[in-house]
Structure 1
Amino acid sequence: MASHTPGPITVLPVQTKADRREFVELAFRLNRGDPAWVPPLKGEVYGLLAPGKNPWFEHGKAQLFLARRDGRTVGRISAHIDDLALAQPAEQGMGPGTGNWGLLEAEDGETAAALLAAAEDWLRGQGMTRALGPLSISIWDEPGLLVEGFETPPTIMLGHNSPLYRAWVEAAGYRSVKRLINYSVAIRGGFPPIVNRIVAAGEKNERIRIRRVDKRRFDAEARLILGILNDAWSDNWGFVPLTDSEVAYVGKKLKPLVFEDLIRVAEVDGEPVAFMIVLPNINELLIDMEGSLLPFGWARLLWWLRKPKSRVLRVPLMGVVKRLQNSRMASTLAFMMIEYIRRDGVAHFGAQQGDIGWVLDDNQGMIAVADAIEARENRVYQIYDKPLD
């Protein structure tokens, strides 16, 4: 019997509702056999891609593409441009002429190459001179390609992809420009003595107050925390400021996962200067829900959210205002917040492990904190770029 020779790959822009559905569903089909892949809630993915819902589209534009061969969908990619990223200084990673791609899924290397070429062509047509990715869709969503740590499922708000993708991206001429490190730390037994001494010294300092957030004042607390974040991270590689509407959107999405004893604000002389957000790992629930809350997922989710038990707690964000960074005060505040949340996480959520990240590979302050609490790297993501000649 003659073997079937696969036909050519065609890459076309997503235009219809059916195209968009295929774009979302493809990730489920390609990743279903990977025990470490956590199916996202499909409603969340549609929301991410919808200009009417995701306020990123107030300052960005995106084009989605599907790859087809022999009548089957075999790959997908997004190409996008963020006006706020274009306005950043070039030496900070983004800047003029830099467009992005992300949400890559492909059956094979040939498909990946065709998708990347289509994304690059679209970016060129928009006047871009450099492609940087993957970002899904902004630096604040799921940035980077997983290159180390494929064995275990990611925690909340971290991405996962096939180990094959790295070679395919690099074969298309991309070079790594930044590593994003995620750390894991055992938390039941407490931290090393040096950390406990720093915390004890901070508790004697009358200028310092570490408080829980007040969920009854949720909107004001969210604005306060994300105001500190925009200042604290403003010199970081890849930084793009969050707008007021994005702050409101993120706050609304995360509100069900906000627990007062897992979030701290640090004040010095009465002024809020640092924060730490910790979230229970809802991925422990989502991993076997196939991306849908029906028929019984709603009940399971609501029951879990009443009083989550979470083996792993994730620290997606922490920050200290710029004027205190690299000071002894900054590290004191960081260790105090980490220790107080550790105690509550173990006592109230049954947590055994903390996940901290991602951390930029040149963020010496956070790397020093991770080293001090004896955290270990458990996942590494890479962001790549390529000139668009």
Structure 2
Amino acid sequence: MGRIAACVDGGGPGIGSFGFLQVEQDGATLAALLDTARAWLAARGMTRLRGPLSFTINHEVGVQVAGFDSPTMLRMPRNPPWLSPMLEAQGLAPEKDVVACTLDLAREVHRARAARLLSGFDARLRIRALDPRDWPAEVARLAALFNDAWAENWGFMPIGDAEAAAIAKIMRPIARTSVILFAEWDGAPIGVLAMLPNIEEARGSWRMLPAMLFGRVGSARIAMLGVSRAFRGTLASSAATAMMLSTAFDAAERRGWRRIEISWILEDNAAMLALMARLPAPVTGRWRIHGGPI
């Protein structure tokens, strides 16, 4: 009838999370699941419940509330429209929305604009692809950049060593067909972009193996795009972001990925949403994080 998971690390002092939520359209079942999660968390000193987060905000986030007509995307939750109202009926109020923005590569105008603006930019900035031969060290660099660039975001949770190892294991099967880029300034990494083939397109079909091995799908997801805080607000930061996106779009074109989802983005991240509008990549989906006292 349903399932739930509870986690003591919900993104702040005293906050526990719930996630991996699946439930029939039955308020009593949902109430029983949430009550059990609350009791487990209260016994461990938590005073507030937040979710769905599976397990934390670094992974699958929120309950979908808009964009149900959009195709399924890798590691973005799908659920019926009635789930968010059911959570609110259980005393969990909306806390924050995250959105997905989708680029139709045939309508993209970013690369031409970026080429004009970045012509002759400082040679100390360069973009390079992740080196799979140095996989553990490259994943460590990616995690370090994430822990820096995302540190001031709402609900931020740093990636620890064990979590980085788990992410590396999960990503390894599709790493060779993914596009993972580092921006470097004087040889030091300052930015990261990770674009993954949308293997959800092939789920449950004979196409799954070629999707994983060769990226033979029509869409992809940019799951990470960020620049170190030390460069935030500088021309180098803007240039690094623009160059990483241009390089990623070139790669998507070569692979036949026609639709690129950039997700997720906090609903109040005005700078990122303005960048999406310039690509153009309009908002195509919305997910809601709920919260309330235990």
TM interval, shorter chain, is over 0.9
Q: Which residue is equivalent to 2:145?
A: 228
Match runs of 1:1-389 below 5 Å = 74-82=1-9, 85=10, 94-107=11-24, 108-192=26-110, 196-205=112-121, 206-259=123-176, 262-286=179-203, 288-289=204-205, 301-347=208-254, 349-388=255-294
For 1:345, give the aligned amino acid: A
CA shift for structure 1 position 262: 1.6
- Whole-Å separation in 2 of the counterparts to 1:254 and 1:187: 24
The answer to which of 224-233 and 323-332 deviates more is 323-332
Q: Deviations over 1:20-57 (max 9, x none)?
A: xxxxxxxxxxxxxxxxxxxxxxxxxxxxxxxxxxxxxx
Report the AA paired with residue 190 of structure 1: E
Unmatched tracts of structure 1, length 5 or more: 1-73, 86-93, 290-296
Q: Displacement of 1:184 after TM fit?
A: 0.6
Over the residues paired in the alignment, what is the CA RMSD in angstroms? Answer: 1.8
Runs of 4+ in 1 over 6 A off after TM superposition: none
Identify if the C-alpha distance between structure 1 residues 304 and 198 changes in structure 2 by more than 3 Å, giving closer, same or farther: closer
Contact 1:263 1:278 in 2 (8 A): yes
Q: Between Structure 1 and Structure 2, whose CA radius of gyration is higher?
A: 1
Change in CA separation of 1:199 and 1:221 when aligned onto 2, cut-off 3 Å: farther
Shift of 1:203: 4.5
Q: TM-score, normalised by structure 1?
A: 0.71
State the distance in 2 between where 1:106 and 1:278 align: 31
1:45-89 per-position Cα deviation (integer Å, ceiling 9, x unaligned): xxxxxxxxxxxxxxxxxxxxxxxxxxxxx222122212xx5xxxx
The amino acid that maps onto 2:49 is A
Amino acid at match of 1:201: L
- Deviation, structure 1 residue 339: 1.2
Q: 1:11 corresponds to which residue?
A: none
The structure, 1 or 2, with the larger RCO (C-alpha pairs under 8 Å, 6+ apart) is 2
Q: Does the CA-based 8 Å contact 1:202-1:333 persist in structure 2?
A: no
Q: Give the SS at the match of 1:188.
A: helix
CA separation of 1:303 and 1:199: change in aligned 2, threshold 3 A: same
Q: Secondary structure at the match of 2:96?
A: strand
- CA displacement 1:306-349 (0-9 Å, x = unmatched): 322221110011210011123332222112111111111111x2
TM-superposed CA distance for 1:198, in Å, is: 3.0
Equivalent pair of 1:187/1:353 in contact (CA under 8 Å): yes
For residue 269 of structure 1, what is the amino acid of its counterpart? D
The number of equivalent residue pairs is 292
Structure 2: how far apart are the matches of 1:357 and 1:271? 26
Cα 1:188–1:343, aligned 2, differ >3 Å: closer, same or farther?
A: farther
User: Following TM superposition, by how much is the alpha carbon of 1:260 offset from its aligned partner in structure 2, in angstroms?
Assistant: 6.9
Partner residue of 1:4?
none
Cα-to-partner distance string for 1:140-161 (whole Å, 9 max, x where unaligned): 2211111111223321111111
Give the Cα separation in 2 of the matches to 1:335 and 1:259: 23
